Amino acid sequence: MSNSPWIIDVTAENFQQVILEGSMRQPVLIDFWAEWCAPCKALMPVLTKLAEEYQGQFVLAKINIEAEQALAAQFQVRSVPTVMLVAQGQLVDHFTGAKPESEIRAFLAPHLSNPVEDAKTQIRELLGEGQLEAAQMLLQQAIQAWPEEVDLQIDLARVLIQQGQTEDAKTLLDQLPEADKVRPEVKGLVAGLAFADQAPSPEVLAQLAERDDSEARYLKALAHLVQGEYEPAVSLLISIVRDDKGYAEGAANKTLLQVFALLGETNPLVITTRRKLFTLMY
Active site residues: 37, 40
Length of the chain: 282
Alpha carbons within 13 angstroms on the beta-carbon side of residue 111 total 23
Residue 64 φ then ψ, to 5°: -80, 115
Q: Does 81 sit behind a cis peptide bond, omega within 30 degrees of 0 on the bond before it? A: yes
Q: How far is CA 220 from CA 2, 204, 211, 277, in A?
A: 64, 10, 10, 19
